[in-house]
Structure 1
Amino acid sequence: MTTIEERPWDDPAGIALRTAQRAELDQRYGSDDHEPGTPPSAADIDLFLVAFDDDGRALGCGALRRLDDVSAEVKRMYVTPASRGSGTATALLRALEEAARSRGWTTLRLETGPAQPDAIRFYEREGYREIPLFGPYAGSDLSVCYERALV
């Protein structure tokens, strides 16, 4: 069973997950220069969630950063390789969507990259549709953007 908890951005489990995500992306892209937007921080993240198994092991994480009065961006969605295919990513995404709805946000956007075909398949399967590159991702060769209306 997976438990999803809100945690502070500097939570040790969250830091470990984001570090593992960064290492995986560095390997996929062949460098550490693969984030065209402003990296999220404690100052601009409205919500940070961590998924745990029954033994307290951190399985994945995800965050929301407000874009405007009605929309937010999904940031740092990550599930450990051993937990992929278990439903953890879907549970995290649904929890983020519910949190967005409770804040009155009606749209979620996100950015992923062409070297992450598994993420692209996941978001498309979960009802996100590809949109033109937005905000800091406009013009980036490393970005693919998605959106979902929360109605």
Structure 2
Amino acid sequence: MKVCIGSLTHPSVIALLEQHHQEMLLHSPPESVHALDLSALAQREITFLCVWKNGELAGCGALKELDETHGEIKSMRTSANFLRQGVAKCLLEYIFAEAISRGYQRLSLETGTMDAFLPAQALYQQLGFHPCQPFADYQEDPYSTFMSKSIS
């Protein structure tokens, strides 16, 4: 697997992000969906990443700078053909290394509370994330779980 800066104009990337957003809407009301669209992922403070395996898009994710010591993991998604093959873990390990190189002391994320999000929650917990209070501009929401990890 190869992790690299992702192209937001690649057809496979666009399709995966559209699928991600549509699936989020299946499990949460629109006001509780925090998935970023293509224009939001292109913001200066966001580094969008892709995982490729044998020439196929295996997954994507992003690292958003909240401030000089705090980053947020966004838009984590594994392509259906690559589920349970270590794609998300590979991407998260890359994000951890990038966050450390930037001097971040903490990584946080928001994910859903419905059963469809339990595998993601389990992976985050396995990698040292713990529940936390809403951060940045998030508010308490019954459809959101907030997690954070110290990396200092």
TM-score range, shorter chain: 0.7 to 0.9
Shift of residue 99 of structure 1?
A: 0.9
Question: Tell me, what secondary structure is at the counterpart of 1:127?
Answer: coil
TM-score by length of 2: 0.86
Question: Tell me, what secondary structure is at the counterpart of 1:24?
Answer: helix
Gaps in structure 2 of 5+ consecutive residues: none
Structure 1 CA distance for aligned equivalents of residues 45 and 7 of structure 2: 9
Structure 2 CA distance for aligned equivalents of residues 38 and 49 of structure 1: 13
CA RMSD of superposed structures (Å): 2.0
Shift of residue 82 of structure 1?
A: 2.5
Shift of residue 102 of structure 1?
A: 1.2
Q: What residue number does 2:18 align with? A: 19
Q: What residue number does 1:99 align with? A: 98
Q: How does 1:19-38 map to 2 (within 5 A)?
A: 19-29=18-28, 31-35=29-33
Q: How does 1:61-72 map to 2 (within 5 A)?
A: 61-72=60-71
Letter in 2 for 1:125: Q
Q: What residue number does 2:73 align with? A: 74
Distance change in 2, residues 1:24/1:145 (3 Å): same
Shift of residue 44 of structure 1?
A: 4.3
Letter in 2 for 1:34: S
Q: Kindly indicate whether the alpha-carbon contact (under 8 Å) linking 2:112 and 2:143 is maintained by their aligned counterparts in 1.
A: yes
Q: What residue number does 1:84 align with? A: 83
Q: Which has the higher helix share?
A: 2
Structure 2 CA distance for aligned equivalents of residues 60 and 137 of structure 1: 25
Q: Kindly indicate whether the alpha-carbon contact (under 8 Å) linking 2:36 and 2:75 is maintained by their aligned counterparts in 1.
A: no
Shift of residue 8 of structure 1?
A: 3.8
Q: What residue number does 1:117 align with? A: 118
Q: Kindly indicate whether the alpha-carbon contact (under 8 Å) linking 2:8 and 2:42 is maintained by their aligned counterparts in 1.
A: yes
Structure 1 CA distance for aligned equivalents of residues 53 and 106 of structure 2: 29
Gaps in structure 1 of 5+ consecutive residues: none
Shift of residue 28 of structure 1?
A: 2.6
Identity of aligned residues (%): 26
Q: Which is worse superposed, 45-54 or 83-92?
A: 45-54
Shift of residue 147 of structure 1?
A: 0.7
Instruction: Please list the CA deviations of residues 73-125 of structure 1 after superposition, one character each: whole Å capped at 9, or x if unmatched.
Output: 00001102331210111000011111111111121100001021111111111
